């Protein structure tokens, strides 16, 4: 039985037997021989064969991906990555018709056209993109290089990814990174000045915009775009002619449904036109507002578009982070801040009912009169709970103070009802000018503490009302939640003075001149009664960046949190008296202290803390992996036993 011959019908009605494709005889060979021949082919040849027919597409590319087994993850396994991947990976993935889903894509873009610059002899290779062919003339190549400037390779990869995301049915986590492009562009100024000064035609950026469109439209649920600081130099600036810039603002209508849950903007280029227009269109679309729960910004140069934050309405937003250079915050002039306070406060207030985690760094500080100024929040209804779902807040102390003063006006017991973690960070004072010594104003930490105490007191007042209304439920006036407080000392200058400011000066014997003694006001630390865990981290290792005096007084400073310092015991009961009882309404909640970095004698340091901080139970010094937490109750009992058995100890 013979197979029916395939025929084709011409326009004149005559029939002609179709010629079999040239590769058909090869497919008639035994399978073992076919695989033996393909095994001797290079990766580039396998990719070329895969584009001849559907059969070769499967056989050749399955062999291509099989070669990477054990070396790197492949699209067959659902992963597309540059890690250890061969140069033909994108071409192979683009041609692989059987790859329908890519749950994970992590791609770091290459830059330039190195074979034309450094390795001109490679143009003898048939696969060289700069070798003229029937479909690509020398003029075409020259035009392509003229339009792409020094980024031919980058745009080639972007075009491949655009084709891949336009074909696959489903994607998942996508990360695009331009760090290699940044390094390559920075090196060009030294190695190839002419190429470094070449421009990219504005129309070329449409390819990247279209790639981003296809990524979010392919079902991507997590998108991260990183780096691109050097790349932003090539973007069309204000001087670009309007006729040369053919980038149009994307239409929101095309995004009827998105699966995008997390967006991380860690690249400068997304904050500049034309990409800032695309970003604004995405974030203000109805489809994005229905899905986005995580949004973060990280920038080292560009400032946030002024219309972005105030335009957003993301009712499902749970986590928000914004980090930028803090140099603008250590000067009185904050005009160059990454984001201004008015926009940020309006954004946080608008999303106060959904946010669970907020992290801010390097943005404009609230004005000094902010606690008494209600103009920024006049539209808020303070009978409603404020930040009822917020669990973690990390920011400059001025923003921490703003959070608590903003919340203290609310009359709802659900305000900050889920808060468990507060992290206060100082600025990096050496960021702007490392050679110039600058001091961070650590008294801002005290203002943040005062705001925290003010909120705690207002919370107790609200709770007393509910306690009176329902005494049968056994409610008390104590905060029902304990807070983990983290202090991050990024700027070294000013730390010593701030630590010393919380302790009274050493009492000295002096003749009584008839003057009344003046008792200094107690430290605000003694009023922080709702703290159960205190975490301290320093820029560098503790105590290497502190003076010897600060290290010596550190246990006394720490004891203020637990209201059990030697100073308070001496003032009430004398040197050998027992520890004072905690007054009603004051909580001995500080149970654990962590010091993230440490160099020195840990044992003696921990013993001194155990001696001074009698209400503290746990301490952990150094990293968690190699330094388990120490039970201070057991340590104190062990020391007492040793002292009882030692007759020399009085």
The tens digit of pLDDT for each residue in 521-577 reads: 788 998 888 888 999 988 766 666 678 888 888 999 998 886 544 444 443 333 333
Instruction: Measure the CA–CA gap between 603 and 598, rounded to whole angstroms.
Output: 12
Instruction: Measure the CA–CA gap between 620 and 535, rounded to whole angstroms.
Output: 9
Q: Are 486 and 422 in contact (CB under 8 A)?
A: yes
Give the dihedral sign, CA 92/94/99/105: positive
The mean pLDDT of 573-597, rounded to a whole number, is 55
Q: Quick check: 162 pLDDT over 70?
A: yes
Q: How many beta carbons lie within 10 A of that of residue 425, not counting itself?
A: 24
Residue with tokens 């027992």: 578
Burial environment of residue 226 by CB neighbours within 10 A (0 to 12, 13 to 18, 19 or more): middle
Instruction: Write down the pLDDT at residue 237.
Output: 64
Which pair of tokens denotes residue 246?
Answer: 């053919």
Instruction: Write down the pLDDT at residue 5.
Output: 39
* CA-atom Rg of the chain in angstroms: 33
Instruction: Write down the pLDDT at residue 337.
Output: 64
pTM for the predicted model, two decimal places: 0.81
The mean pLDDT of 273-287, rounded to a whole number, is 92
Q: Quick check: 483 pLDDT over 80?
A: yes
Q: What is the DSSP string of 179-235?
A: HHHHHHHHHHHHH-HHHHT----GGGHHHHHHHHHHHHHTT-SEEEEE--TTGGGGS
Q: Could you say which DSSP state residue 526 is in? A: G
Per DSSP, the chain holds a count of helices (H) and strands (E) of 22, 17
Q: Could you say which DSSP state residue 300 is in? A: S
Instruction: Measure the CA–CA gap between 266 and 157, rounded to whole angstroms.
Output: 20
Instruction: Write down the pLDDT at residue 236.
Output: 81
Q: How confident is the model at residue 150 (pLDDT cuts 50, 70, 90)?
A: confident
Q: Quick check: 370 pLDDT over 90?
A: no
Which residues are within 8 A (CB) of 571 and not within 5 positions of it... i.e. 6 or more apart?
none
Q: What is the mean pLDDT of the chain?
A: 76
Q: Quick check: 219 pLDDT over 80?
A: yes
The mean pLDDT of 436-450, rounded to a whole number, is 84
pLDDT top residue among 620 and 119 = 620
Overall residue count recorded for the chain in this entry? 650
pLDDT top residue among 646 and 496 = 496
Q: What is the DSSP string of 90-137?
A: HHHHHH-TT--EEEEEEEE---S-HHHHT-GGGGGSTT-TTS--SSS-
Instruction: Write down the pLDDT at residue 378.
Output: 42
Instruction: Measure the CA–CA gap between 490 and 330, rounded to whole angstroms.
Output: 13
């Amino acid at each position: 039985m013979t197979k029916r011959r395939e025929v084709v019908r011409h326009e004149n009605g005559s029939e002609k037997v179709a010629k079999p494709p040239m590769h058909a005889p090869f497919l008639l060979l035994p399978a073992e021989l076919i695989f033996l021949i393909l095994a001797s082919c290079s990766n580039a040849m396998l990719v070329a064969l895969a584009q001849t027919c559907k059969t070769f597409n499967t056989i050749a590319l399955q062999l291509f991906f099989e070669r990477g087994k054990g070396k790197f993850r492949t699209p067959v396994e659902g992963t597309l990555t540059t890690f250890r991947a061969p140069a033909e990976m994108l071409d192979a993935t683009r041609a692989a018709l059987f790859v329908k889903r890519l749950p994970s894509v992590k791609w770091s873009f290459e830059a330039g056209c190195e074979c034309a610059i450094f390795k001109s002899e490679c143009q003898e290779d048939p696969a060289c993109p700069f070798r003229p062919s029937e479909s690509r003339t020398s003029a075409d190549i020259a035009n392509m290089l003229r339009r792409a400037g020094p980024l031919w390779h980058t745009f080639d990869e972007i075009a491949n990814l655009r084709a891949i995301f336009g074909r696959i049915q489903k994607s998942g986590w996508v990360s695009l990174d331009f760090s290699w492009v940044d390094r390559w562009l920075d090196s060009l100024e030294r190695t190839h000045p002419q190429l470094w000064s070449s421009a990219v035609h504005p129309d070329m950026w449409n390819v990247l915009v279209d790639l981003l469109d296809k990524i979010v439209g392919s079902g991507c649920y997590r998108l991260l775009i990183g780096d691109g600081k050097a790349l932003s130099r090539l973007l069309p600036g204000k001087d670009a002619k309007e006729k040369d810039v053919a980038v149009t603002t994307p239409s929101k209508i095309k995004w009827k449904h998105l699966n995008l849950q997390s967006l991380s903007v860690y690249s400068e280029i997304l904050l500049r036109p034309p990409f800032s227009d695309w970003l604004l269109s995405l974030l203000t679309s109805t489809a994005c507002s229905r899905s986005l729960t995580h949004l973060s910004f990280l920038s080292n140069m560009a400032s946030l578009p002024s219309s972005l934050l105030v335009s957003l309405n993301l009712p499902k937003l749970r986590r928000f982070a914004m980090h930028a250079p803090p140099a603008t915050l250590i000067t009185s002039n904050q005009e160059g801040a990454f984001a201004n306070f008015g926009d940020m406060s309006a954004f946080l207030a608008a999303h106060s009912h959904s946010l669970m985690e907020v992290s801010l760094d390097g943005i404009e500080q609230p004005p000094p009169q902010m606690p008494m100024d209600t103009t920024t929040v006049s539209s808020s209804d303070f009978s409603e709970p404020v930040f009822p779902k917020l669990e973690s807040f990390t920011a400059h102390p001025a923003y921490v103070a703003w959070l608590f003063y903003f919340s203290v006006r609310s009359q709802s017991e659900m305000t900050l009802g889920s808060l468990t973690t507060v992290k206060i960070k100082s600025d990096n004072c050496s960021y702007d000018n490392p050679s110039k010594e600058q001091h961070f104003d650590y008294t801002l930490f005290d203002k943040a503490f005062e705001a925290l105490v003010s909120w705690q007191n207002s919370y107790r007042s609200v709770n007393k009302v509910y306690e009176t209304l329902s005494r049968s439920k056994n409610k008390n006036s104590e905060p029902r939640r304990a807070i983990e407080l983290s202090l991050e000392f990024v700027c070294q200058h000013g730390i010593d003075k701030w630590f010393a400011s919380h302790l009274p000066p050493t009492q000295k014997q002096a003749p009584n001149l008839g003057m009344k003694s003046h008792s200094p006001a107690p430290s605000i630390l003694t009023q922080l009664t709702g703290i159960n865990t205190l975490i301290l981290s320093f820029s560098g290792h503790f105590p290497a960046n502190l003076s010897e005096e600060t290290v010596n007084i550190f246990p006394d400073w720490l004891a203020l949190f637990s209201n059990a310092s030697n100073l308070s015991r001496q003032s009430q009961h004398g040197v050998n008296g027992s520890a004072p009882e905690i007054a009603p309404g004051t909580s001995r909640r500080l149970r654990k202290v962590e010091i993230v970095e440490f160099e020195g004698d840990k044992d003696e340091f921990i013993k001194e803390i155990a001696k001074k901080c009698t209400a503290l139970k746990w301490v952990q010094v150094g990293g968690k992996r190699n330094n388990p937490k120490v039970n201070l109750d057991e340590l104190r009992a062990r020391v007492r036993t040793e002292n009882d058995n030692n007759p020399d100890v009085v």
